Amino acid sequence: MATFEPHKTALAPPEMAAPDTAAAPLGSSAATMVVLFADVAGSTKLYDALGDTQAKAMVDECIATMRTVVAQYGGRVIKTIGDEVMCVLPNADAGLLAATDMQTKIDALPEVSNTKRAIRVGFHFGPVIEEHNDVFGDTVNLAARMAGLAKGTQIMTTLATVQLMVPMLRASTRRIAALAVKGKGDNVEVCEVIWQAGEELTMATPSMTHAPRHIELVLRFGATQRSLQDSNSGIVLGRDVSCQMVVPDRMASRQHARVERRRDKFILTDQSTNGTYVVFDGEAEMVLRREEVMLRGSGRIALGHSVTDSPDETIYFEVKR
């Protein structure tokens, strides 16, 4: 699936190569652990709706709750910035249990002015470099990416982390997709932790066992054509030369949108400043603003402006089954 940009958390470190644990910097040490990121989903709306004082009190209560949970599972908080927490835990089991307990406890907090709080969590187990009570390395980057994939009330982790858990805990996860991650040679299998009991989740789990059927998405921009065919394929659209489909449009963001396969569907997700415009053949134009849509049939995509404004800067798509 798609190379994707992570949620830009203030805690996420800059891109860096995987640490060489055999040559840690002077004054630092190498270790293997879970790195977990959690933040309050929709905190900006809380401040808009409730005002600074009340919203900050609600966020602070969430942070305090998450700190307590981390300590209960043998972990420690590395840092907090605003509504975000970065912490480490000793192993994969502790990571899942802490993430689940965080969600459960935040979900149980009382509403304030008819407003309910929610958090999103991402974690990954692997080697890190510890220095001055902070941690660095590829594990930190990947944990931040998992948090970026999660929505409010969701917990995301990697299949590699899930495989280290005891069978009982592994049973509470489900595979979501394989994503090509920028800077990594291999695709990363992503899993969701199921912590809420609900009919929709119970029904969704068995479907993961069925092999996705063959389906292909063809994208064309000028003389460039890209074909996405399997569950590991995806593409980033934008004007940056690092994108798989470069659109040199002044209205396009550097990494404007991404297309990724989720089982037997192709999902277009806007991550831009000016929005992504989509026209399905025979239908009215729609505008995505930090939203996503399933691509079906055929049509056109424009980055940052209407499809009709600059026909030469339009991406044509077709889904073939």
CATH of the domain at 162: 3.30.70.1230
Averaged confidence pLDDT in the chain: 82
Give me the pLDDT at residue 27, please.
Answer: 55
Q: Which residues is 267 bridged to in the sheet?
A: 260, 294
Answer with the one of 207, 240, 261 that is the final residue of a domain: 207
Looking at the structure, tell me whether residues 179 and 234 fall in a common domain.
no
Looking at the structure, tell me whether residues 63 and 127 fall in a common domain.
yes
Looking at the structure, tell me whether residues 242 and 316 fall in a common domain.
yes
Give me the pLDDT at residue 179, please.
Answer: 73
Query: Which strand (E) or helix (H) includes residue 146?
Result: helix 138-149
The number of folded domains in the chain is 2
Question: Using CA atoms, how far apart are residues 149 and 280, in angstroms rounded to an integer?
Answer: 26
Q: Which residues span the domain enclosing 282?
A: 216-320
Looking at the structure, tell me whether residues 203 and 242 fall in a common domain.
no
Question: Using CA atoms, how far apart are residues 36 and 158, in angstroms rounded to an integer?
Answer: 12
Q: Is 84 helix (H, G, I), strand (E, B) or coil?
A: strand
Q: Quick check: 37 and 120 in contact, CB under 8 A?
A: no
Looking at the structure, tell me whether residues 49 and 189 fall in a common domain.
yes
Give me the pLDDT at residue 317, please.
Answer: 95
Q: Phi first, then psi: what are they for 290, rounded to 5°? A: 55, 35
> Please, what's the b/e burial string for 272-293 (b: 16 or more CB within 10 A of its CB; e: otherwise)?
bebbbbbbbeeeeeeebeeebb
Answer with the one of 173, 207, 241 that is the final residue of a domain: 207
Give me the pLDDT at residue 277, please.
Answer: 96
- Angle of the 92-108 helix axis to the 52-72 helix axis, nearest 10: 140
Answer yes or no: is 1 within a domain.
no
Give me the pLDDT at residue 292, please.
Answer: 82
- Name the stretches of the chain with pLDDT < 50: 1-26, 199-212, 232
Answer yes or no: is 168 within a domain.
yes
Looking at the structure, tell me whether residues 125 and 146 fall in a common domain.
yes
Give me the pLDDT at residue 142, please.
Answer: 92
Q: What is the pTM of this model?
A: 0.56
Answer yes or no: is 8 within a domain.
no
Looking at the structure, tell me whether residues 188 and 66 fall in a common domain.
yes
What the block records as the tokens of 244 is: 């798989």
CATH of the domain at 251: 2.60.200.20
Looking at the structure, tell me whether residues 80 and 201 fall in a common domain.
yes
Q: Quick check: 179 and 191 in contact, CB under 8 A?
A: no
Q: Quick check: 278 and 268 in contact, CB under 8 A?
A: yes
DSSP label of 194:
-
Question: Using CA atoms, how far apart are residues 152 and 150, in angstroms rounded to an integer?
Answer: 7
Looking at the structure, tell me whether residues 96 and 191 fall in a common domain.
yes
Distances (CA, A) of 274 to 237, 277, 284: 14, 9, 19
